[in-house]
Structure 1
Amino acid sequence: MKQKVLIKVNMNDDKSRSKALKTVVGLSGVESAALQGKERDQLEIVGEGVDSVVLTRLLRKYVGYADLISVGPVPEKKPDQPPATVAAAMEATPQMPVWAYPYPASSQVYQVRDSEPTCSIM
């Protein structure tokens, strides 16, 4: 069964955040990890068979202070109903704008020749 674990970790800079994310993602069973909270100091880990106590101990060992906030099941999402018509499906998918840049009509090349060559060999 998938579970969601929320851990508050003392992360002050980007280096400690990346170290915490690498530590969490390296554990077996972890499917996703994300930074949460106003100060981006909470890790939300989703996975199957993840031991939250082992995860908290690893974060304490490699990053610093870590506090286990909550462990619970992941709420299941209901599948969306597919659009009834092709036109509705086309409206639902975002379309990328096409940007056309015109090429210059004519390009002019200038060649400059000096009457006196700068090279003494010639």
Structure 2
Amino acid sequence: MKQKIVMRVHMRCQKCRTKALEVVAGANGVNFVGLEGDEKDKIVVIGDGVDAVTLTKCLRKKVGQTEIVSLGEVKAS
């Protein structure tokens, strides 16, 4: 089951943004990582079998304040 996770991460600088994307891209089962929002403060993760809670804890440890905005299943087109 593919799922889409949207997380808001407090990224103060370009180095923090890069670090956050590296952490997410290195997680097991991740197929797509992207930024969205007006200030590019939301990270969108699409993957199969990605654990949202573990990913959020890892981002909090490595980057800073992180919260899950939405979590849902990706519809097959």
TM-score computed with the length of structure 1 as normaliser: 0.62
The structure where helix makes up a greater share of residues is 2
Unpaired segments of 5 or more residues in structure 1? 78-122
**1:34-60 alpha-carbon deviations (Å, 9 max, x no partner):** 001010000000000000000000000
SS of aligned partner of 1:64:
coil
What do you get for the CA RMSD once the two structures are aligned? Answer: 0.6
The alpha carbon displacement at 1:12 in A equals 1.6
Which structure's CA Rg is the greater one? 1
Q: Percent identity?
A: 44
Query: Relative contact order (alpha carbons < 8 A, sep ≥ 6): 1 or 2 greater?
Result: 2
Cα deviation, 1:18-39, whole Å, max 9, x if unaligned, reads 0000000001100010001010
The runs of 4+ residues in structure 1 deviating greater than 3 Å are none
Match of 1:45 in 2: 45
TM-score (norm. length: structure 2): 0.97
Other-structure match for 1:60:
60
Which residue number in structure 1 is paired with residue 30 of structure 2?
Answer: 30
Letter in 2 for 1:36: E
SS class of match (1:23):
helix
Which position in structure 2 is the counterpart of 1:21?
Answer: 21
SS in 2 for 1:11: coil
More strand by share: 2
Distance in 2, Cα, partners of 1:11 & 1:76: 32
